[in-house]
Structure 1
Amino acid sequence: MSICVNKNTCIGCGACASICPNNFAIGNDGKAEVISQENVECANNAAQSCPVQAITVEQ
């Protein structure tokens, strides 16, 4: 499994970190970053909520 954030697409809205704080955080650059690869269901929920589709979850 791989959870990825496209930093070029991310707008730093923080939706993913709010929905799935165990997997995502907002980094020093103001963009989302993956902090854990553990919870696929939570990451999928965050990916679906991303307004710019910057998150991909591959199994």
Structure 2
Amino acid sequence: MKKYLFFATVTLILAGCSNIEPEPPRKEGSMNKEYKLPDPTPLTADQREEYNNRNAEYRNNVNE
């Protein structure tokens, strides 16, 4: 019985070590595509004022 277990273990070990590739196969996918972000639009006066108010509030609360 021990011989069968030994041979089964050796067979599994040797079968697991066959055909080892040095690198995984390269696949063409969405990772090699280039995407362009939309051009930024300038802020309006109201948006700029709101941004400055929030930024000032943040800096006042963080730097106490």
TM range, smaller chain: under 0.3
Structure with more of its chain in strand, by fraction: 1
TM-score under structure 1 normalisation?
0.24
- Which structure has the greater CA radius of gyration? 2
Q: Comparing both chains, which one has the higher relative contact order based on Cα–Cα distances under 8 Å and sequence gaps of 6 or more?
A: 1
Richer in helix (by share): 2
With normalisation by structure 2, the TM-score equals: 0.22
